[in-house]
Every structure is written in structure tokens, then in C-alpha cells.
């Protein structure tokens, strides 16, 4: 399957900060059809680490699907602003995750990442919460 453009919604969750954590993501084609979803535990992590790990997992999956463009939506303002270069990545624990996202981004011809309210990210949030059960 080769997809030109995908729409990704991703979310990370942790019970405690740090605590048991999980990720969730949906990958849809341009017509809004679900192509793949992710719902998995990732061990112990902070909420910000989980947000990054959800984004990484979704980008890795989209890359394996052969996409060349990704429109990404997250409810983590911190992650979005760090990826867009508006905030510096200060925490040492987030730097390798940030670098991995930038590496995956460089493989794509087109890449946008947008902050959205939590209410618009319910599918990805549900998938992350499901994995925490």
C-alpha cells in the first residue's frame, strides 16, 4: 500500500509523571479512512515522553506504509511547539525523542504538525487510555 498523504492524530498518556504510560494514534488516508491505529503500553514514562513516543510510533508506521506527506495533530502544545522550533528542547530525556522525530520528518516530502484541543483528539486519546487498562 502506497499512500501519498496521511492524517495522523497521536496522543500519549501516563498515570503519574512519570508512571505507567501508553500511546495511541490513528493514521488515515486523505479521504479520512482509517489505515492504521496504534494502542500500546510503553512502560514508565512522563506524559511528555509518551506524547513524543506516540508521534514517533505513528511516523514510523506511516513511513512503513510508504507515505510521502503527513499532516499531524497533537493536543500537546509543548511537543508541537518544540517540533516547529518555537520552543527549545531543554530536558535531556526529551532530546533523543525530538531528534528521532526530526529524523523521521526529514524522510518526508511534506510535514505539518498542528496543536489541537484535547476534544478534537478523542480517538487517539481513547487508544492510549485503552492500552493503560
Under 8 Å between Cβ of 128 and 23: yes
Give residue limits of the domains in the chain: 5-132
Mean pLDDT of the chain: 96
Q: Superfamily assignment of 5-132 in CATH?
A: Ribonuclease H-like superfamily/Ribonuclease H (3.30.420.10)
d(CA 125, CA 89): 24
Residue 72: strand pairing partners = 8, 113
Pairing of strands 19-28, 69-74: unpaired
What does the pLDDT look like over 53-76, one tens digit per residue?
999 999 999 999 999 999 999 999
d(CA 133, CA 27): 22
- Per-residue pLDDT for the chain (133 aa), expressed as one digit of tens each? 678 999 999 999 999 999 999 999 999 999 999 999 999 999 999 999 999 999 999 999 999 999 999 999 999 999 999 999 999 999 999 999 999 999 999 999 999 999 999 999 999 999 999 999 8
Global pTM exceeds 0.95: yes
Amino acid at each position: 500500500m502506497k499512500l501519498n498523504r496521511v492524517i495522523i492524530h497521536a496522543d500519549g498518556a501516563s498515570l503519574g509523571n512519570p508512571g505507567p504510560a501508553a500511546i495511541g494514534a490513528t493514521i488515515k488516508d486523505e479521504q479520512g479512512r482509517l489505515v492504521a491505529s496504534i494502542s500500546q503500553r510503553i512502560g514508565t514514562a512522563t506524559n511528555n515522553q509518551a506524547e513524543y513516543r506516540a508521534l514517533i510510533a505513528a511516523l514510523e508506521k506511516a513511513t512503513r506504509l510508504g507515505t510521502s506527506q503527513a499532516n499531524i495533530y497533537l493536543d500537546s502544545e509543548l511537543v508541537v511547539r518544540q517540533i516547529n522550533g518555537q520552543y527549545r528542547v531543554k530536558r535531556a530525556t526529551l532530546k533523543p525523542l525530538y531528534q528521532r522525530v526530526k529524523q523521521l520528518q526529514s524522510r518526508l516530502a511534506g510535514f505539518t504538525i498542528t496543536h489541537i484541543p484535547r476534544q478534537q483528539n478523542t480517538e487517539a486519546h481513547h487508544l492510549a487510555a485503552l492500552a493503560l487498562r
